[in-house]
A and B are shown apart, each in its own frame.
Chain A
């Protein structure tokens, strides 16, 4: 059910580079997993409300209290490629 084209399309959506070997292996593994999870398709679910969150919560708000921010220096500390005041990014294309 997962063919070569879908595998490549999904990898592109996920911004995940795959080798040719990985494309083949992923196609087989995902097909096997989807074959297993397909059992949920047999259930009558039209009238069932989907659960997004196991514990009911709504409109979780807090007071807007100003607190100190992270310094630019600290925020940039773990960046693998930074300039004095920002993260560097390759050109778009």
Chain B
């Protein structure tokens, strides 16, 4: 096994035992980052990463993350390190501050190795909307890695890093984790500060970890949660996140979401998820079918709320203070219209238009207002479900990784990629995807979700299932 095949936890242990160093780890991963046949990375921070690793190796007491490298989604601001959010609008942009969650990981001893590719401004489900070319799925280079955090997912699957950060608005961590055969977690809304996360839809956006094991995802999460004075929606986190160790599910009630195990889901995906659900009882848990009567309205609700919020958030890209600026506009209105026409790609324009329409005079109540009411109904459905069960389970994505170009011509067909993840996002619940098997050689993700603040139980359940599944997370030709 190469150093890059080890989990983050194993890498930390090896550093602590004196078997390797942060410099060795960073160098080993940089070699894979710089040979990036998947286009996972938009920026690599070689010199600073090696300098930071050397610094950590010289410390008398090693920080908890011991100088293990990490990749950061390009939606998160990193001071002086180019941050584009996958857009031409921010080509060459160097933030003047670092996102709180990234700063916390650096303080805990993680070494940032680079910034990962993504759908422009996190709008997409395949990473094909990046202005810098699509990311390829390490399991099959003719297929997408999912999105929007596709580069963060592919970089972990391809062993360019042991773990990474993504952001999830409607499924942008869980769906690419599923399509790349790794673990991806979106915590409770507000668990992690959004300060420094380039905003997409503020009532939904949440940062979270990608890793190859549930324990690594938990470890990374444990260093990021908690209140930040710079984000008024960030939450006090009284119970620390624990690295899980459960091997059994005694007493755990697992609800299977009936609406998401139906005809709209590929048979191979359903089969892999069902075979995992069938393990629950052998591990001591119980399985209960659960109905979410309004889940079917989730996608429609999301495609009103998210674009509406995005249209307001993206108003800041005006070519004045940072980012792209059109040349030689005579007057201000022309300057705005040309700057934004040149800087934004087609999907971002589509969502700005949709959101501006949904918020415009005469349509606000019928669209945005109604969507916020449906959001209440979806939240009630989950509250009723969690009166009966501890966690709910479903497929993460209705299909395995699809082919590049397959869904780019039809926006709605792309939007349907997120049909399983969106209802949970609207309810602000913690949720993760774990790999649960293969369908025709491609990974399938099982999505688990629990009530707000139930991260620790969710991670324990995921850990017990992960052990029972025994998924081999190495794509052919990559790693061991």
Contacts and interface: CB of A to CB of B under 8 A. Distances in A.
Interface of A: 2, 6-7, 9-11, 13-19, 22, 26, 29-30, 32-34, 36-41, 43, 45, 48-55, 57, 60, 62, 70, 74-75, 77-81, 87, 89-93
A27 B372 CA distance: 25
Interface of B: 93-94, 96-97, 188-190, 203, 229, 232-233, 235, 297, 299-301, 303-304, 311, 315, 318-325, 329-338, 340-341, 344, 349-350, 352-354, 356-357, 360, 366-367, 369-377, 379, 411-412, 415, 426-429, 452
A28 to B, nearest CB: 11
Given A15-B315, A78-B93, 9 more contacts: A14-B340, A17-B340, A37-B303, A40-B301, A45-B373, A78-B321, A78-B323, A80-B324, A93-B332
B235 A80 contact: no
A26 B371 contact: no
Given A17-B337, A54-B427, A6 B96 contact: no
Given A51-B375, A54-B426, A80-B319, A74 B96 contact: yes
B320 A89 contact: yes
A18 B341 contact: yes
Contacts of A6: 357
Chain B: interface secondary structure?
helix
A17 B360 contact: no
A78 B331 CA distance: 22
Contact of A15 (B232, B299, B340, B373): B340
B442 to A, nearest CB: 27
Chain A: interface secondary structure?
loop
A7 B297 CA distance: 26
Contacts, number: 172
B426 to A, nearest CB: 7
B308 to A, nearest CB: 11
Nearest to B410: A32
B297 A39 contact: yes
Contact of B373 (A17, A49, A57): A49
A45 B367 CA distance: 12
B336 A15 contact: yes
Contacts of A55: 188-190, 233, 235, 428, 452
A65 B335 CA distance: 38
A92 B320 contact: no
B428 A52 contact: no
B334 A10 contact: no
Contacts of A92: 331-332
A29 B409 CA distance: 10
Contacts of B301: 37, 40
A1 B105 CA distance: 49
Most interface-central of A13, A14, A48 (chain B CB within 10 A): A14
Contact of A52 (B203, B299, B344, B427): B203
